[in-house]
Amino acid sequence: MRFACSLLLSLLSCVPALADIQTKWVDYTDGEVALQGFVAWDDNQASQPAPGILVVHQWMGLTDYEQTRCQQLAKLGYVAFALDIYGKGVRPADPQEAAQFSGKYKSDRALYRRRLNLGLEQLQAQAGVAPAKIAAIGYCFGGTGVLELARSGADIQGVVSFHGGLDSPDPQAGKNVKAKVLMCHGADDPFVPAEGVEALRAEFNAADVDWQLIEYSGTVHSFTQPMAGNDNSKGAAYNKSSDQRSWRAMRSFFSELFE
């Protein structure tokens, strides 16, 4: 019996501690505008600095979806901070209102970049973040956002755009990009015109940006989001295979950035 107990204790001592994911809300401001972000980290890894990942939300604002992504990133050993572009408690009621909200920032890139960089500052201020190991990911509106963050000249290692807007509103902005860029794109996305993608290629190539574009066949917009449904004819739909492939591509990209 004593032998059996000793063996059990020995085996248990070899099992890694279970991930203890911690989360909290973080209040910050842009002038008089109140903003509220969400941060997640693994408490078991808090003893040493970890890479920080900024998460930029889709057009419905900071929702449960972004919070879940932050927790997934924390389980991988990162400190993940989901920023807030719209304002604390400000959330679109429906897609029509979301189009108005997101359109405000797409038409005012200076404001958009300021909110993005304020979120980046909050990530960098979090305990346990390695200051020289920072990346950003974003979905749809947020996928556009991480490209704008890079174009703002943010001193970070990389950005990952998931089904973001791929265009070139300012062809000279590519000269500001310091980060490596990964873009995960649905090959059949009707909301991203081919001419916009070609303009982005030209912008990034002219600026010698280190970029990658992965296109997933049979895949439309919002392919990482289950709430988009599964009807490709609507132009936005979840695709489990493309979701999983793009997440693996992100992980490989991060390994390259942070090793």
Which residues, in sequence order, are bridge partners of residue 212? 182
Distances (CA, A) of 60 to 31, 56, 95, 151, 175: 23, 11, 7, 23, 30
Give me the torsion for CA of 67, 168, 256, 131, rounded to 10°. Answer: -60
Q: For 105-121, give the secondary structure using H, E and C.
A: HHCCHHHHHHHHHHHHH
Query: Could you read off the pLDDT of 187-215 as tens digits, one per residue?
Result: 999 999 999 999 999 999 999 999 999 99
pLDDT of residue 222: 98
C-alpha angle 132/136/137, rounded to 5°?
Answer: 155
pLDDT of residue 47: 75
Which burial class, exposed, middle or buried, applies to 7 when counting CB atoms under 10 A from its CB (0-12, 13-18, 19+)? Answer: exposed
pLDDT of residue 12: 36
Beta strands in 100-228 (DSSP E): 129-139, 158-162, 180-186, 211-216
| Domains assigned to the chain | 17-258 (3.40.50.1820)
Give the residue from 46, 26, 29, 48 showing the smallest Cα distance to 123: 26
Q: Is residue 115 a contact partner of residue 102, using CB atoms and an 8 Å limit? A: no
3-class DSSP assignment, residue 9: helix
C-alpha angle 211/220/114, rounded to 5°?
Answer: 50
**Full-model pTM:** 0.92
Give the residue from 247, 56, 62 showing the smallest Cα distance to 147: 56
What residues contact residue 13 under an 8 Å CB cut-off, 6+ apart? none
Q: Is residue 192 a contact partner of residue 180, using CB atoms and an 8 Å limit? A: no
The total of other beta-carbon atoms located within 10 Å of residue 76's CB is 16
State the alpha helices, DSSP H only, in 126-193: 141-151
End-to-end CA distance of the chain: 46
The token pair that represents 91 in the structure block = 């959330």
Regions of the chain where pLDDT drops below 50:
1-18
Rounded Cα gap, residues 184 and 186, in angstroms: 7
